[in-house]
A and B are shown apart, each in its own frame.
Chain A
C-alpha cells in the first residue's frame, strides 16, 4: 500500500485534463545536468537581450562591449580575475553548506567579518612581519573571523534547530552595520585618522598588498583555486565530507550512521564561514587595500549563492562559473560610459538565477506531452 502518488496524479489530471505527464527521473547524468544549466544561461542572456531592446539599446552592441570589458585586454582580464577570486570563495562557502542541506545565506556577512578581521591583522602585524608571513596571517585571521561569524548562526541551528535562513540573513545586516560603524560611526582602529573630515579605512601596509603576477592575477586567485581543490577532495575523500554528503541526502540515515549532527552542523558552518572570510581577507589585500565598506559590501556573498547553484554544488565547477560571474561583475562599472545602466548586470544575474532555478525542474523531472483520450475521465 505504498503507491498513492500514481493514483493521486490520475485523479488530478482526471479533473483538469492536462495533456502533460510529469515523471520523476530515476537519476540524471552529470552531463545532462550541466547541459540543462548551460541552456539556462543562454536563455538568461536571451531574456536580457529582450530587456535591453525594450530599453532602446542594441543588445549585440552591449554584449560585445561587455565581452571586451571583461576579456578584451590584460587590464580587463585582471579586473575579471579580481572579481573571480572572492566569488570562487563565497561560491565554495555556499556549496559546503548547501551540500549538507544547510541553507545558509550568510556568506555576505561572513565575508564582511573576514574583511574586518583580515584588515585588523594586516594593520597590526603587517609592519613587523615579512610579506609572506603577513599575508598568511591576514588569511588566517580572515578565516577565523568568517568562521566565528558563521558559528553565531550554527550553534542555535545545531542545538535548537533555529532556522538558519533567518539567522544567517539577519547576521549579514549586523555585520554590515558593524563595519559601517567602524569606519563611518567611530574613530576606530580601522579608520584613517589622518583625515578626520573624510571617513575612510586605514590603508594596509604594503607587505600585505597583493601585486598581480604578469599584471594579470595575484596570490589570492591561486589560494582560491587551491581551496576549491581542497574542498573537492575533502568532500570526496574525508570522513567529514562523507558525513556531510550523507546528512545532506538523508538526516535519518545520518543519525542511523551514528553521525553527531551537532558537531557536523557546527563544523560545516565554520568551514563555510572560513571560506567566505578568506574571500573578505583577499578582497582587502588585492582590491580595496583598506576596510572600505562601500567597496566591500557589494553582494559578493549573495552572488556566491548564484555561483554555487549554477555550479550544481560541485566545488570544481564553482571555478569556471565564478569566472563567468566575475566577468559579468567587472563589466558593470564600464557600462555606464556606454550609456547603459550598470543595473543591467544585476538584472542579468537575477535572470540567470531564475533560469537556473527553473531548470532544476527539468533535471529532476521528465515532461512529456500526452494525448488525451476523448471521453476518458
Chain B
C-alpha cells in the first residue's frame, strides 16, 4: 500500500463540545501506518467521540486533522469512507435480512444494479480471498454468530478501500476465542500497511495486541506510549487517575449497619449459551443502613445485576433473598410491595413516562398502593396532593399543569424519580447511575439524599461508573468484571489504583 507519509492520521488540538459541555479537549493523536493503536480510557473519557470525529459522524468544535499528510475534514461518515477511514461500531451496520455477500457489496459503486445471487457471492468470495478473511457469502447475516458479523463488517469496509480501520470496543461482545481470531486478523491488516485504531478499556488487550497506546481521561490525552514501554499497572493508573487519596471512603462509625437485607447467592444469568454469561455466580450482601457501591467498567454485568434484583430479568440459577424471603421468582409488583425501590439507569425511557403529566409519573410503581387506589379506581385527589408534596419537598422545578413532564430538565427529572422511589420508604434502594449527567451541585444533592436514607436504615445498592462517587459514599465496594464479582472489600481498605486494576480484570 503506497503511503505518502509515515503518519496515517494526525489530529491537532481536537476539541468537541455538546451543548456547551466539553467532552474532548485539545487532543493530539497520531496514528502510524502499519500499527495497531489502542485508545484506552474509562467510559466517558472521550474515546468514542474522538473516533466518531475521525469517522465523520461528529464534527470537531475546534482543531485540525490530516489523513496521509493532507487536510482531512469529513462532513459525513460517507465522506470519511470515500477518503479511506472506516469504523466498526459496537452495533453493526449490517442488514440482517440480507446475505453476507449482499452486505459486503452493499453500496459499492462498482456493482451493477442487476446481479444474480451467485454472481454476488463470487464477487464477495473474491473480496474475501484478497483480504484473507472468510465467511460463507450465501449465509444470511441474521444467522451469523456475533464474531462472524463483526468480520463481515470488517470485510465490507475493506472492500470499500479502507486504509484506516477504527474498531469501537470490538471485543465487548466476543468470546475469548473469537477475540483471538479478531486480533490475528487485525495484525494481518496492520502488516499490510493499514492503520488500526482499537478502542478499549481492557488493559490486557492493549498489552497483548497493540503496538502503541493513547490514554484519554475526562476528554484529555494523558499519555501516548509504545506498549512495550509500559506496564498494566501504569496504564491502570493513567486511565483511572491517581489524584484520589487512598481510602477516601466516608465510613464513619456513627451509623451502625444492621441485619442482612439483600442476599444474592451464586446468581447467574445466561441468555445465550454461545456467549459468556451476563452474570456468573454472583454473591452479594447488602445490610440495612449500608451503602454497597458496585464499581466496574460498564458492560461487565452491572445492568444485568440491577435488573435481576429488581425483577426486570429472571435468574438462570441462584437465589435472591430480601429480608430472608426468596424473591427470585417474585413479580416486580411483589418486590415493590416488599420494599424495593429502584432508580433505573435509563431514566427517560424506563424510570419515567415522558409523555404523561407529573401526577401520572409520581404514581408509577404505586398504582396498586391502597393510598392511591381503591379497587380499580384511582384516588385522583390523593395523587394530586402527593405530587404537590414531592414537587415542594424535592424542589422539582419547571412543572407545568397539563403538560407532559418532557418539559422538565434532566436534573429535575432525576430528582422526580428519586423523590418518588424514596417517598415510598423502601427497605432497599437499588440506584443505577443516580448522578449521571447531573451538574456538580445536583449530583452532590443526590448523594446527600442517599446518605440521609442510609442514616435512616435503608440499604442501598449503588451502581455508578464514577469511581470517585463509589469510593466516596459507599461502606462496601464490590467490583465487577465480565459478569463476576472479582472483589468485595470495605471502602476504607481499598484505594483507587487497586480498584482500577480489578476493574481492568487484573488481580
By a beta-carbon cutoff of 8 Å, the part of chain A in contact with chain B is 1-4, 6-8, 10-12, 14-15, 26-27, 29-30, 236-240, 242-243, 245-246, 249-250, 252-253, 255-258, 260, 377
Contacts and interface: CB of A to CB of B under 8 A. Distances in A.
A209 B342 CA distance: 57
B323 interface: no
B331 A258 contact: yes
Contacts of A255: 312, 332, 350
B365 A258 contact: yes
A11 B364 CA distance: 39
Given A252-B346, A253-B350, A239 B19 contact: no
A239 B376 contact: yes
B368 interface: yes
B378 A10 contact: no
Contacts of B406: 26-27
Interface residues of B, number: 49
Contact of A239 (B57, B353, B368): B368
Contact of B350 (A4, A30, A250): A250
A256 B351 contact: yes
- Grouping DSSP codes into helix (H, G, I), strand (E, B) and loop, the B interface class, with mixed when no group exceeds half, is loop
A236 B356 CA distance: 12
Nearest to A28: B403
Contacts of B365: 256-258
A243 B353 CA distance: 11
A11 to B, nearest CB: 5
Given A27-B406, A242-B367, A242-B378, A7 B353 contact: no
B208 interface: no
Contacts of B57: 4, 7-8, 11
B209 interface: no
Contacts of A243: 367
Contacts of A253: 349-353, 364
Contacts of B48: 1
B349 A252 contact: yes
Nearest to B52: A4
13 contacts: A1-B23, A2-B437, A11-B76, A30-B402, A238-B376, A240-B376, A246-B364, A253-B351, A253-B352, A253-B353, A255-B350, A256-B342, A258-B331
Chain A CB count within 10 A is highest, among B23, B312, B334, B355, for: B355
Chain A CB count within 10 A is highest, among B311, B367, B368, B373, for: B367
Interface in B291-340: 311-312, 331-336
A237 to B, nearest CB: 5
Nearest to B365: A257
Closest 4 CB pairs of A and B: A258-B333, A258-B332, A252-B350, A249-B355
Contacts of B368: 239, 258
Contact of A237 (B75, B332, B351, B380): B380
B500 to A, nearest CB: 21
B18 A1 contact: yes
- Grouping DSSP codes into helix (H, G, I), strand (E, B) and loop, the A interface class, with mixed when no group exceeds half, is helix
A208 B427 CA distance: 59
B58 A238 contact: no
Given A237-B377, A237-B378, A242 B332 contact: no
Contacts, number: 108
A3 to B, nearest CB: 4
A91 B265 CA distance: 52
Given A7-B57, A237-B377, A15 B76 contact: yes
A356 B106 CA distance: 37
Contact of B18 (A3, A30, A240, A245): A3
A260 B355 contact: no
A377 to B, nearest CB: 6
Contact of B378 (A2, A29, A238, A257): A238
A132 B111 CA distance: 74
Contacts of B59: 7, 10-11
Chain A CB count within 10 A is highest, among B334, B353, B406, for: B353
A14 B59 CA distance: 12
B103 interface: no
B18 A2 contact: yes
B363 interface: yes
Contacts of B335: 258
A120 B168 CA distance: 65
A3 B355 CA distance: 20
B377 A26 contact: no
A240 B437 CA distance: 34
Interface in B89-109: none
B360 interface: yes
B407 interface: yes
Given A239-B367, A242-B360, A249-B353, A26 B18 contact: no
B404 interface: yes
Contacts of B378: 237-239, 242
B474 interface: no
A237 B377 CA distance: 6
A242 B383 CA distance: 12
